[in-house]
Structure 1
Amino acid sequence: MKKKYSLVLALFIMGLYVNAQSYQKTGLGLKTVINSTVIEIQFYSPQIVRVIKYPEKNTFEKKSLSVIKEAEKTKLVISENGRAVRIKSKVMQVNLNLHSGKILFESLSGAVLLNEKERGAVFTNFNDTGNKTFTVNQSFVLDPKESIYGLGILQNGKMSQRNQKLHMVQNNTWDFVTFFQSDKGYGLFWDNYSPTDFNDNAEETSFKSEVGDGIDYYFMLGNNADGVIAQMRDLTGHVPMFPKWTFGFWQSKERYKSQNEIVEVVKKYRGLGVPLDGIIQDWQYWGDNYHWNAMSFLNPEFSKPEEMVNDIHKLNAHLLISVWSSFGPDTPQFKEMKEKNMLFDFQTWPQSGKEAWPPDMNFPSGVKVYDAYNPEARDIYWNYLNKGLFSLGIDGWWMDSTEPDHLDFRPEDLDAKTFLGSFRKVRNAYPLMAVGGVYDHQRQFSSAKRVFILTRSAFAGQQRYGANTWSGDVNSSWETLRNQIPAGLNFSLCGIPYWNSDIGGFFAGSYNTNSNDGSGAKNQYYQELYIRWLQFGAFTPMMRSHGTDVPREIYQFGKKGEPIYDAIEKTINLRYMLLPYIYSNAWKVTKEHSSFMRALVMDFKDEKVKDMNNEYLFGQSILVAPVVNAQYTPETIVKTNEDTGWNKKERDESAKNAVVDFNEKKIKKVYLPDGSLWYDFWTNKKHSGGQEIDQETKIDQIPLYVKAGSIIPLGPKVQYVEEKKWDNLEIRIYEGADGEFTLYEDEGDNYNYENGKYATITFKWNDLKRILTINKQQGSFSEMIKQRRFKIIKISSDHLESDASAKELEKTISYNGNQISIKL
Structure 2
Amino acid sequence: MKIKILIITLFVLISGSISAQTYQKTDYGVKTVINSENIDIYFYNPSTVRVLKYPQGKSYSQKSLSVIQNPQKTSFKLKKNGDELLIKGEKLDIYLSLKSGKVSFATQKSILLSEKEAGTVFTDFNDAGIKTYSVSQSFVLDKEEHIYGLGVQQEGKMSKRSIKLNMVQGNTDDYVPFFVSNKGYGLFWDNYSPTVFEDTPESTMFKSEVGDAVDYYFMQGTNADGVIANMRSLTGEVPMFPLWTYGFWQSRERYKSQDELVNVVKKFRELNVPLDGIIQDWQYWGNNYLWNAMEFLNPGFNDPQKMVNDVHGMNAHMIISIWSSFGPNTKQFKELGKMGALFNFKTWPESGSEKFPPNQDYPSGVKVYDAYNPAARNLYWKYLNEGVFKLGMDGWWMDSTEPDHLDFKPSDLDTKTHLGSFRKVRNAYPLMTVGGVSDHQRSVTSDKRVFILTRSVFAGQQRYGSNTWTGDVVASWDALKNQISAGLNLSLSGIPHWNSDIGGFFLWNFKNPLENPDYRELHVRWMEFGTFCPMMRSHGEGYPRELYQFGKKGTPVYDAIEKYINLRYSLLPYIYTTSWEVTANKSSMTRALVMDFAEDKQALDINDEFMFGKSILVSPVTQSMYSKLIDTVRVADFSTVKSKEVYLPKGVDWYDFWTAEKYVGGQTVKKAVPIDIIPMFVKAGSILPFGPKVQYATEKKWDNLEIRIYEGANGEFTLYEDENDNYNYEKGAYSTIKFLWNDKNRTLTIDKQKGTFPDMLKQRKFNIVLVSKDKGTGTDLSKKYDREVIYFGKKINVAL
Shared fold per TM-score greater than 0.5: yes
Q: 1:156 to 1:13 in 2, by over 3 A?
A: closer
Q: Is it true that 1:545 corresponds to 2:541 in the alignment?
A: no
Report the equivalent of 1:627. Answer: 621
The answer to whether the 8 A contact 2:52-2:215 is kept is yes
Report the equivalent of 1:644. Answer: none
Q: 1:76 to 1:510 in 2, by over 3 A?
A: same
Q: Write the mapping of 1:283-682 to structure 2, written as runs, cut at 5 A.
A: 283-513=282-512, 520-604=513-597, 605-633=599-627, 658-662=634-638, 664-682=640-658
Q: Write the mapping of 1:52-91 to structure 2, written as runs, cut at 5 A.
A: 52-91=52-91
In the alignment, the residues of structure 2 paired with residue 153 and residue 719 of structure 1 have an alpha-carbon distance, to the nearest angstrom, of 33
Residue 658 of structure 1 and its aligned partner are, at CA, apart by 2.0
Q: 1:297 to 1:120 in 2, by over 3 A?
A: same
In the alignment, the residues of structure 2 paired with residue 73 and residue 774 of structure 1 have an alpha-carbon distance, to the nearest angstrom, of 41
In the alignment, the residues of structure 2 paired with residue 809 and residue 267 of structure 1 have an alpha-carbon distance, to the nearest angstrom, of 36
In the alignment, the residues of structure 1 paired with residue 668 and residue 568 of structure 2 have an alpha-carbon distance, to the nearest angstrom, of 27
What letter corresponds to residue 737 of structure 2 in structure 1?
I
In the alignment, the residues of structure 1 paired with residue 19 and residue 311 of structure 2 have an alpha-carbon distance, to the nearest angstrom, of 72
The answer to whether the 8 A contact 1:511-1:655 is kept is no
- Given candidates 665, 674, 680, the residue that maps to 1:704 is 680
SS of 1:31 mapped into structure 2: strand
Deviations 1:234-271 (A, max 9, x none): 00000000011000000000000000000000000000
In the alignment, the residues of structure 2 paired with residue 21 and residue 703 of structure 1 have an alpha-carbon distance, to the nearest angstrom, of 62
In the alignment, the residues of structure 2 paired with residue 298 and residue 627 of structure 1 have an alpha-carbon distance, to the nearest angstrom, of 43
SS of 1:488 mapped into structure 2: helix
Report the equivalent of 1:103. Answer: 103
In the alignment, the residues of structure 1 paired with residue 600 and residue 251 of structure 2 have an alpha-carbon distance, to the nearest angstrom, of 39
Report the equivalent of 2:4. Answer: none
Report the equivalent of 1:39. Answer: 39
The answer to whether the 8 A contact 2:474-2:508 is kept is no
Matched-pair identity in %: 63
Residue 20 of structure 1 and its aligned partner are, at CA, apart by 8.4
Residue 662 of structure 1 and its aligned partner are, at CA, apart by 3.1
Residue 528 of structure 1 and its aligned partner are, at CA, apart by 0.2
- Given candidates 786, 802, 810, the residue that maps to 2:786 is 810
Q: Is it true that 1:30 corresponds to 2:30 in the alignment?
A: yes
Report the equivalent of 1:205. Answer: 204
SS of 1:510 mapped into structure 2: coil
Residue 694 of structure 1 and its aligned partner are, at CA, apart by 1.1
Q: Is it true that 1:127 corresponds to 2:126 in the alignment?
A: yes
Report the equivalent of 2:746. Answer: 770
Report the equivalent of 1:745. Answer: 721
Q: 1:533 to 1:656 in 2, by over 3 A?
A: farther
Report the equivalent of 1:225. Answer: 224
Residue 22 of structure 1 and its aligned partner are, at CA, apart by 1.5
Q: Which runs of 5+ in 2 are unaligned?
A: 1-10, 775-781
In the alignment, the residues of structure 1 paired with residue 297 and residue 412 of structure 2 have an alpha-carbon distance, to the nearest angstrom, of 32
- Given candidates 661, 686, 691, the residue that maps to 2:667 is 691
Residue 682 of structure 1 and its aligned partner are, at CA, apart by 1.0
Residue 281 of structure 1 and its aligned partner are, at CA, apart by 0.3
Query: Quick check: 356-365 or 464-473, which moved more?
Result: 356-365
In the alignment, the residues of structure 2 paired with residue 656 and residue 92 of structure 1 have an alpha-carbon distance, to the nearest angstrom, of 64
What letter corresponds to residue 535 of structure 1 in structure 2?
E
Residue 687 of structure 1 and its aligned partner are, at CA, apart by 1.0
Report the equivalent of 1:3. Answer: none
Query: Quick check: 696-705 or 771-780, which moved more?
Result: 696-705
In the alignment, the residues of structure 2 paired with residue 92 and residue 276 of structure 1 have an alpha-carbon distance, to the nearest angstrom, of 49
What letter corresponds to residue 610 of structure 2 in structure 1?
Y
Residue 107 of structure 1 and its aligned partner are, at CA, apart by 0.4
Report the equivalent of 1:118. Answer: 117
Q: 1:387 to 1:118 in 2, by over 3 A?
A: same
Residue 510 of structure 1 and its aligned partner are, at CA, apart by 3.5
Alignment TM-score, normalising by the size of structure 2:
0.96
Deviations 1:576-605 (A, max 9, x none): 000000000000000001001100111112
Residue 372 of structure 1 and its aligned partner are, at CA, apart by 0.2
SS of 1:274 mapped into structure 2: coil
Deviations 1:266-292 (A, max 9, x none): 000000000000000000000010000
SS of 1:301 mapped into structure 2: coil
The answer to whether the 8 A contact 2:660-2:773 is kept is no
Residue 550 of structure 1 and its aligned partner are, at CA, apart by 2.2
Report the equivalent of 2:779. Answer: none
SS of 2:627 mapped into structure 1: coil
The answer to whether the 8 A contact 1:19-1:83 is kept is no
What letter corresponds to residue 548 of structure 2 in structure 1?
Y
In the alignment, the residues of structure 2 paired with residue 398 and residue 428 of structure 1 have an alpha-carbon distance, to the nearest angstrom, of 20
In the alignment, the residues of structure 2 paired with residue 769 and residue 558 of structure 1 have an alpha-carbon distance, to the nearest angstrom, of 50
Alignment TM-score, normalising by the size of structure 1:
0.93
- Given candidates 678, 690, 697, the residue that maps to 1:714 is 690
Q: 1:107 to 1:808 in 2, by over 3 A?
A: farther
Root mean square deviation, CA, Å: 1.9
Q: 1:663 to 1:319 in 2, by over 3 A?
A: farther
Residue 93 of structure 1 and its aligned partner are, at CA, apart by 0.5
Residue 685 of structure 1 and its aligned partner are, at CA, apart by 1.1
Residue 340 of structure 1 and its aligned partner are, at CA, apart by 0.8
The answer to whether the 8 A contact 1:524-1:657 is kept is no
The answer to whether the 8 A contact 2:14-2:83 is kept is no
The answer to whether the 8 A contact 1:796-1:807 is kept is no
In the alignment, the residues of structure 2 paired with residue 12 and residue 374 of structure 1 have an alpha-carbon distance, to the nearest angstrom, of 46
SS of 1:773 mapped into structure 2: strand
Q: 1:426 to 1:793 in 2, by over 3 A?
A: same
In the alignment, the residues of structure 2 paired with residue 208 and residue 562 of structure 1 have an alpha-carbon distance, to the nearest angstrom, of 54
In the alignment, the residues of structure 1 paired with residue 762 and residue 678 of structure 2 have an alpha-carbon distance, to the nearest angstrom, of 36
The answer to whether the 8 A contact 1:280-1:320 is kept is yes
Deviations 1:381-417 (A, max 9, x none): 0000000000000100000000000000000000000
The answer to whether the 8 A contact 1:511-1:656 is kept is no
In the alignment, the residues of structure 2 paired with residue 613 and residue 585 of structure 1 have an alpha-carbon distance, to the nearest angstrom, of 22
Q: 1:807 to 1:22 in 2, by over 3 A?
A: farther
Residue 88 of structure 1 and its aligned partner are, at CA, apart by 1.2
Q: 1:320 to 1:14 in 2, by over 3 A?
A: closer
In the alignment, the residues of structure 2 paired with residue 448 and residue 566 of structure 1 have an alpha-carbon distance, to the nearest angstrom, of 37
Report the equivalent of 2:3. Answer: none
In the alignment, the residues of structure 1 paired with residue 577 and residue 548 of structure 2 have an alpha-carbon distance, to the nearest angstrom, of 32
Q: Is it true that 1:779 corresponds to 2:755 in the alignment?
A: yes
SS of 2:310 mapped into structure 1: helix
What letter corresponds to residue 681 of structure 1 in structure 2?
F
In the alignment, the residues of structure 1 paired with residue 163 and residue 453 of structure 2 have an alpha-carbon distance, to the nearest angstrom, of 29
Residue 300 of structure 1 and its aligned partner are, at CA, apart by 0.4
Q: Write the mapping of 1:151-300 to structure 2, written as runs, cut at 5 A.
A: 151-300=150-299
Aligned residue pairs, count: 782
What letter corresponds to residue 459 of structure 2 in structure 1?
A
Residue 666 of structure 1 and its aligned partner are, at CA, apart by 1.4
Deviations 1:51-105 (A, max 9, x none): 0000111111110000000101111111111111111111110000000100010
The answer to whether the 8 A contact 1:686-1:797 is kept is no
